Amino acid sequence: MHRSADILIAGAGPVGSTLRSLLQRDGLCVLQLVPEAPAAPPPLVIAIGPAAQRILAHAGLWQRVPTEQIGYFDRIHTWDADGAQLRFAATGQEALACTVELERLQAGDRAESRLAGTPVGTPRVRDQRIHWELADGTTVDAALLVAADGVDSAVRTACGITTHRFDYQQHAVVCTARTAQPHRHIAVQAFLPDGPVAALPMAAPHTVAIIWSSTSDHARALAQLPEEAFNRRLEAVLGARLGTPQCGPRQVFPLYSQRSTRYYAERIALVGDAAQVVHPLAGLGLNLGLLDAAALAQLIAQAHTRRRDPGSRALLAHYHRWRAPPNRLTATTIHLLNALFASSALSGVRGLGMELLDRSPLCKTLLVRVASGQCLDPPLVARAAAP
Ligand SMILES: Cc1cc2nc3c(=O)[nH]c(=O)nc-3n(C[C@H](O)[C@H](O)[C@H](O)COP(=O)(O)OP(=O)(O)OC[C@H]3O[C@@H](n4cnc5c(N)ncnc54)[C@H](O)[C@@H]3O)c2cc1C
């Protein structure tokens, strides 16, 4: 069998599904290549900022999440090991971020646009099209292949794009917790020398998502603790704000950052975790990936309208110039923040910096806008509410 499309997307995670929906909305013929036996999405609760919410809404994915399953926070309260504090509050109508289980963002898809299979060999470019073969003999061709196949992207490897990876030698222990006190839509984050511990408000007033980053050995030990002991340790870290938590099953995730040296090769573009991975301390990985998807969709739709080639080198170079610099800036900032909070030698500078920033509403507003993707030239669908 042979299948042909304008755009072939490898990967059915939230970034690939968002890109597919945006392109279909713009009238393109899209095929989404999905694994034959897809793994369940990781049990993560994700913070989604206003720009990313707008992108998901334009793609029609946000509306599919039942409202009662969406949490939000309009304040963030952080502190470090020496007691220095920094608070952020929403200034306008919008919350700082919403929280949602990652699995809720995996689209219930139109079957005809999905192709389940395992690619074999390397995608090859011939006659201005990219061609790929699947293990069952199916062949596919498109003007552009988009790698949305996650951190270990097979497409990225096949086309020879290299990555730089930084291993934080940390793991995150992740779980949800019922709390004695209501969260009051305040996200809290304690920056400990071994790594940050965050509690993100979920939809239910007494439920939060815990992300406890620490050295790998410590994180594994925390994950192994009996439930009662873990609850007590968490309460000791978060203080009296939420009362004694009752935590659910814990999962452990390795933490690293990774960036691709280029976001494109001949008739191939990288988006989402396939392009870059950041430490989750600022809750931005998926937010950046959705901005990638929206930016690429915008360029492809413009080319489609003008009857131009959506896989041209000029378009892909434009995409790289648009998305790689802000992603790198964000990754570097997160990296420096992690180092700053881990260092006891810098505790004086850090405390002073936090105090000064805490007293500067303008700087805080700007920081929130940059972090949530509302500055640095966002794509059109990230700026305007969906119709
Ligand atoms: C502890 C933790 C907390 C986090 N918290 C946040 C947060 O609060 N906010 C935030 O924005 N981000 C957060 N992130 C990051 C976020 O989870 C990721 O950035 C996001 O899930 C990446 O989405 P993606 O679609 O690019 O990749 P994935 O979700 O990895 O999807 C890739 C898809 O490709 C498929 N695939 C793989 N190989 C192939 C192949 N060969 N062919 C076809 N398909 C293939 C996979 O099955 C999968 O469906 C967090 C991450 C961690 C680890």
Q: What is the pLDDT of residues 45-102, one digit of tens each?
A: 999 999 999 999 999 999 999 999 999 999 999 998 888 888 888 887 789 999 999 9
Residues 227 and 180 both lie in one domain: yes
Quick one: 243 and 299 in the same domain?
Answer: no
190-214, pLDDT tens digit by residue? 988 888 999 999 999 999 999 999 9
pLDDT on residue 111: 67
200 and 332 inside one domain: no
148 Cβ contact partners less than 8 Å away, ≥ 6 residues apart: 9, 10, 11, 13, 15, 16, 19, 271, 272, 274, 293
CA-based radius of gyration for the chain: 21
- Ligand 1 contacts (CB < 6 A) are 10-16, 33-35, 38-39, 44, 46-47, 102, 148-150, 154, 172, 174, 211, 253, 272-273, 280, 283-287, 289
Specify the residue with its C-alpha closest to ligand 1, atom 29.
Answer: 13
CA of 300 to the centre of ligand 1 (A): 23
Indicate the top mutation candidate among 168, 202, 286, 323 to test ligand 1's pocket, ranked by most ligand atoms within 8 A of CB.
286
Alpha-carbon gap, residue 340 to 350, rounded angstroms: 7
- Give me ligand 1 centre to Cα 272, in Å: 8
Cα(101) to centroid of ligand 1, in Å?
Answer: 12
Q: What confidence score (pLDDT) does residue 109 get? A: 61
Q: What pLDDT, on a 0 to 100 scale, did the predictor assign at position 258?
A: 97
Q: What is the pTM of this model?
A: 0.95
With respect to residue 231, please indicate whether it lies within any of the assigned structural domains: yes
The residue nearest atom 7 of ligand 1, judged by CA position, is 283
Report yes or no on 306 lying in a domain. yes
Ligand 1 atom nearest the C-alpha of 286 is: 11
Q: Whose CA is nearest to atom 3 of ligand 1?
A: 280
**Residues 180 and 155 placed together within one structural domain of the fold:** no
Mapping DSSP to helix (H, G, I), strand (E, B) and coil, where does residue 75 land? strand
Does 26 lie in the same domain as 49? yes
Q: Do the strands 207-215 and 163-178 form a parallel or antiparallel pair, or are they unpaired?
A: antiparallel
Which is nearest to 313 in space by CA: 324, 303, 305? Answer: 303
State the Cα angle at 308 between 304 and 310, rounded to 5°: 65
Final residue of a structural domain among 255, 288, 315: 255
Does 60 lie in the same domain as 173? Answer: no
| Domain enclosing residue 30, as ranges | 2-71+103-165+257-383
Given ligand 1 and candidates 8, 104, 149, which is best to mutate, with the most ligand atoms within 8 Å of its CB?
A: 149
How close is the Cα of 338 to the center of ligand 1, in Å?
A: 21
For strand 30-34 and strand 75-80, is the pairing parallel, antiparallel, or unpaired?
A: unpaired
Among residues 229, 255, 281, which one ends one of the domains?
255
Structure-token pair, residue 377: 């030239």
Residues 230 and 280 in one domain: no
Total structural domains within the chain: 2
Q: What is the dihedral of CA 340, 346, 347, 350, to 10 degrees?
A: -60
Determine which residue's CA is closest to atom 17 belonging to ligand 1.
Answer: 286
Same domain, 316 and 249: no
Ligand 1 centroid vs 127 CA: distance in angstroms?
33
User: Which residue's entry shows tokens 């995996």?
Assistant: 106
Q: Where are the alpha helices (DSSP H) in the chain?
A: 14-25, 50-58, 154-158, 216-224, 227-238, 285-305, 313-342, 347-358, 361-371, 380-383
Residue 273 Cα: closest atom of ligand 1: 26
Residue 95 lies in a domain: no
Separation between Cα atoms, residue 241 and residue 263, nearest integer Å? 43
State the pLDDT at residue 146. 98
Q: Specify whether 268 is located in the same domain as 314.
A: yes
Are 111 and 218 members of one domain?
Answer: no
Q: From the centroid of its chain, how far is CA 175?
A: 18
Among 255, 270, 305, give the residue marking a domain's end. 255
Residue ranges in the chain modelled with pLDDT below 50: none
- Give residue 237's identity as a one-letter amino acid code: V
Distance between Cα 150 and ligand 1 center (Å): 5
Closest residue by Cα to atom 31, ligand 1, is: 13
In this predicted structure, what is the pLDDT of residue 210? 97
Predicted confidence at residue 45, as pLDDT, reads 96
Question: Which atom of ligand 1 lies closest to the CA of 172?
Answer: 1
pLDDT at 334: 85
Quick check: 130 and 267 in contact, CB under 8 A?
A: yes
CA 57 to chain centre: 16
